[in-house]
Amino acid sequence: MKILVAGKGGVGKTTIAALLSHIFSNHEYKVLALDTDSVPNLAQSLGIPLDKAFKIVPLTKNMKLIEEKTGARPGEGWGVLFSLTPKVDDIVERYGIKVKDNLNLVVVGSIDVSKEGCLCPAIALAKAFLRHVFLKRKEIIIVDTEAGAEVFGRGLAEKFDLFLCITEPTIKSLIISKKLVKMAKELGIKKTILVINKVRDSLEAAKSYSRIFPEKNIPYHIVHYDNNLQEVEMKGLGVTNLPENSIIVHDVLLLYSKISKFIK
Ligand SMILES: Nc1ncnc2c1ncn2[C@@H]1O[C@H](COP(=O)(O)OP(=O)(O)O)[C@@H](O)[C@H]1O
Ligand SMILES: [Mg+2]
C-alpha cells in the first residue's frame, strides 16, 4: 500500500504522515516513511531527537552517493552523461533511519526540478529510488511531500494506491484541494480521502466541504484542531510525545481504521 500525503503548505501533511506512520507500525505493519520535502522535517515529527535529525543528509544532497550511483556530480547538469537507471536497491538498507521496530525513514529530499535548480543527477536518483521502492517493497509506504504538485509528475503519481489530500477547513484551502484531487484522479490514483485538518467546528467544516464538493464524491475525514501540538513542537518533540488521549491521535486512529479497510 502506497500512500501519498499532499496538500497546500502548512496544512498538517507532515504531522499526519508522522502519526499514521507510527499508528501503522504499532499495528504490526512494516512502514517505510519517505520525506520528499526540500526542507525535510518528517524526522522531527516522527520523534527522532533534534541533534540526530539535523545531521540527516537527504539523498538529493548526498554528493558522494549521487556520484556513486549516477556517475555524475550534482550541478553538472544535462551536459554530462549520467545514468538514468542507477542501482538503488541498497538505499533503504544504507540510508534508512530506524525510528523503531517496523518503522524506517528515508529522507529523499526534493524531487522538484525547479526547486533544486539543475541538480539533474540528484533528481534522477531520487525518482529512480522512489520507483524502485514502489515496485519492490512490501511495506506500507507513506510519502510526505512539500506543497506543490511536482509529486504528481508522470511516472510516480499513478503508483500510489491512496491519496490523502490534507486540507484546512477554509474555503480557500478546500478550493486548492479540489484541484489536487482532480489532478490525482486524472493521473490514475484510484482512491482519495480528503483529510480536513485543524477543525474547530465539525458542522462548519462539513458545510464548507459540501459547498466546494457539492457532488460529495470524495469521502472526507475530519481531524480536529489540537492545542497539544504546539506544546510538543515548542519543545522540539515529535508526535509520539502527544498525550494518548489527545484529539489528533484519536482522529488519526480513526483515519487509520478507514485506510486499513482497503488493505487486503
Ligand atoms: N490538528 C492540528 N491542530 C493544531 N495544530 C496543527 C494540527 N495539524 C498541524 N498543526 C500545526 O500546523 C503546523 C504545520 O503542520 P505541518 O504538519 O508541518 O504542515 P505541512 O507539512 O503541511 O507543512 C505545525 O505547527 C503543526 O503543529
Ligand atoms: Mg511538511
Give long-range contacts, CB 8 A cutoff, 24+ apart: 55-58. 56/97, 56/107, 57/107, 58/107, 58/108, 58/109, 58/110
Q: Tell me what pLDDT residue 237 has.
A: 95
Residue 172, C-alpha cell as written in the block: 480557500
Local mean pLDDT, 10-residue blocks, the chain (264 residues): 95 98 97 95 96 94 89 64 76 95 95 67 88 91 86 77 97 96 91 98 98 96 98 95 96 97 78
Predicted TM-score (pTM) of this structure: 0.94
Nearest CA to ligand 1 atom 14: 10
Ligand showing the shortest atom-to-Cα distance for residue 36:
2
CA 2/CA 30 separation, integer angstroms: 12
Q: Which atom of ligand 1 is nearest to the CA of 9?
A: 23
- Ligand 1 pocket, residue 156 CB under 6 Å: no
CB atoms within 10 A of CB 165: 28
Q: Tell me what pLDDT residue 71 has.
A: 84
Q: Tell me what pLDDT residue 123 has.
A: 85
Q: Tell me what pLDDT residue 53 has.
A: 94
Q: Tell me what pLDDT residue 116 has.
A: 59
Q: What residues pack around ion ligand 2 (CB closer than 5 A)? A: 13-14
Q: Tell me what pLDDT residue 262 has.
A: 82
- Ligand 1 pocket, residue 229 CB under 6 Å: yes
CATH 2.20.25.240 holds for 2-59+95-117+132-260: no
Q: Which atom of ligand 1 is nearest to the CA of 144?
A: 21
Nearest CA to ligand 1 atom 12: 12
